[in-house]
Amino acid sequence: MISSDKQEDFILFLYLYIAIFITLVLPIAGILGVSYLKRNQTQTNKIIAYFIIIAMLWLSVALVLSIYSFSDLIYISPISYSIKIKIIILTSFVLYIFVTSFLPLILLRKEKYSLIIKDEFNKKGYINPTTKKEIYYFFFVAITVGICEEILFRSFLYTSFTTSHFFDNPHIILLIVNVIFGLVHFLQGYTGMLSNFLLGVCLSYIFLVTGNLVISIIIHILIDLKLVYISRKLSKVY
């Protein structure tokens, strides 16, 4: 029978291993993958990259599930905020969604702006879906990213910081977790890191207010599926 001290040491090892995997291994794999895709821009390589992304994210979640139960990751006791704070959170989220999602889709209808959006989209053509087959596989990437990133960052890292008692203020923990979330997306440039940080903050507060990660997961998936719509609109593959 394993002693309680050894069990605690093993769990601590898992915490450190998962934290290193999320914050170092995944970004480094991303750097190497992007470098390769830029040099070898083929549909086959892109689809293989999609499968690798899916596999690595689900592997990360599997490691987390070795520590926490699925229900512990999805449901928490919601934090009680005043109506005023809830309105501020909701307003901030709506503004973020409008600026980052709805506004580009609206501008896409204008020829002048659609050319700008197409140019920006094609700059990342080495990873963005540009054909019917790529769009099909990217659909599963969007679902995987929405589920796994919410479990890993919004739930696991937040819960880990909370239970570690390094910080007692949930708002400080929330900011730290989402700074990490933004930095992990450094391949998207400064605007990408800032955008992901803001998205993470919004989704984190939704999680804390509702106590239900499913809501944040659905929102995240829908935001990522925006790329599918843009690709279909630009490439006219359907």
Question: 15: pLDDT confidence band, cut at 50, 70 and 90?
Answer: confident
Q: List CB contacts of 15: < 8 A, sequence separation 6 or more.
A: 67, 160
What confidence category does residue 2 fall into, taking pLDDT thresholds of 50, 70 and 90? very low
Q: Which domain holds residue 138?
A: 4-235
Q: Does residue 237 carry a pLDDT above 50? A: no
Whole-number Å distance between alpha carbons of 98 and 121: 19
Query: Which pLDDT belongs to residue 238?
Result: 41
Note the pLDDT of residue 1.
43
d(CA 237, CA 81): 46
Nearest to 117 by CA among 238, 237, 196, 235: 235
pLDDT at residue 229 tops 60: yes
Number of domains in the chain: 1
Assess whether pLDDT exceeds 60 at residue 130: yes
CA distances from residue 145 to 88, 117, 153 in whole angstroms, order as listed: 27, 23, 11
- Residues 9-24: what's their mean pLDDT? 76
* pLDDT tier for residue 18 given thresholds of 50, 70 and 90: confident
What is the band of 235 on the pLDDT scale with cuts at 50, 70, 90?
low
- Higher confidence at residue 8 or residue 228? 228
Task: Provide the whole-model pTM.
Answer: 0.87
- Whole-angstrom CA distances from 4 to 7, 9, 166 are 5, 9, 22
Distance in angstroms (rounded) separating the CA atoms of residues 59 and 22: 10
**Which tokens go with 197?**
């940080």
pLDDT tens, 27-37? 888 888 888 88
Give residues with Cβ within 8 angstroms of 108, minimum separation 6. Answer: 114, 117, 230, 233, 234
Per-residue pLDDT tens for 156-214? Answer: 988 888 877 677 788 888 999 999 898 888 877 788 888 899 999 999 999 999 999 99
